[in-house]
A and B are shown apart, each in its own frame.
Chain A
Amino acid sequence: EVQLVETGGGLIQPGGSLRLSCAASGFTVSSNYMSWVRQAPGKGLEWVSVIYSGGSTYYADSVKGRFTISRDDSKNTLYLQMNSLRAEDTAVYYCARLERYCSGGSCYSVVDYWGQGTLVTVSS
């Protein structure tokens, strides 16, 4: 059974740093595309970052240069290092596994499994 369990959220002051972890079971993180998606209180979903199975990473403009996605293959765990945190980073952060579909030479990815989310609150 696929499971994703996020930890590491909490209250942090503006300008501070936090590292989120996402422990995966039931599949191999390094063989899949993995993402972080966040949701500010009462707001919609915002895609944050993705790490491809080959190791390439991409970020939303809102976090580029401040957040880093990574994984530890030995621990089957995904991470999100968040630096220079701002009030607008306050959100529930979801870890997500992407399923890859290919047809006729074209491929795309969709989130097929989500973690339960971890709340990050940036406030003084």
Chain B
Amino acid sequence: DIQMTQSPSSLSASVGDRVTITCRASQSISSYLNWYQQKPGKAPNLLIHAASSLQGGVPSRFSGSGSGTDFTLTISSLQPEDFATYYCQQSYSTPYTFGQGTKLEIK
């Protein structure tokens, strides 16, 4: 199985900050990497697929990059509604494993 490792596990930041979350796969997954946002008590929401394709309706301050084993999610200017937990997921092969999550908190 492909293991997905996110860093950091938690992050404190302020409104307006630029934030980067990284995700590393245990083997190459090409660009088959997705990012989800989850708020407490809610189902996750797709932000980015195929490493860098922004899902419709997602603000342009979110961006993704990477290929192979190393990927990043960047939020260019944090907004109050962005404080949540973020998960990466590989869709290269089953099982479609998730990273352990990065909790983004208000500083």
Question: Which A residues fall within an 8 A CB radius of B?
Answer: 35, 44-47, 50, 58-61, 94, 101, 106, 108-112, 114-117
CB distance from A99 to the nearest CB of B (A): 8
Count A/B pairs, Cβ under 8 Å: 58
Main secondary structure of the interface of B (DSSP, over half): loop
CB distance from B27 to the nearest CB of A (A): 16
On whether the beta carbons of B92 and A94 are closer than 8 Å, the reply is no
Interface residues on B, range: 20 to 34
Main secondary structure of the interface of A (DSSP, over half): strand
CB distance from A105 to the nearest CB of B (A): 12
On whether the beta carbons of A108 and B92 are closer than 8 Å, the reply is yes
Among the listed A47, A101, A117, which residue makes an inter-chain contact with B97, where contact means beta carbons less than 8 Å apart?
A47
Residues of A contacting B96 in the complex (Cβ-Cβ under 8 angstroms): 35, 47, 50, 109
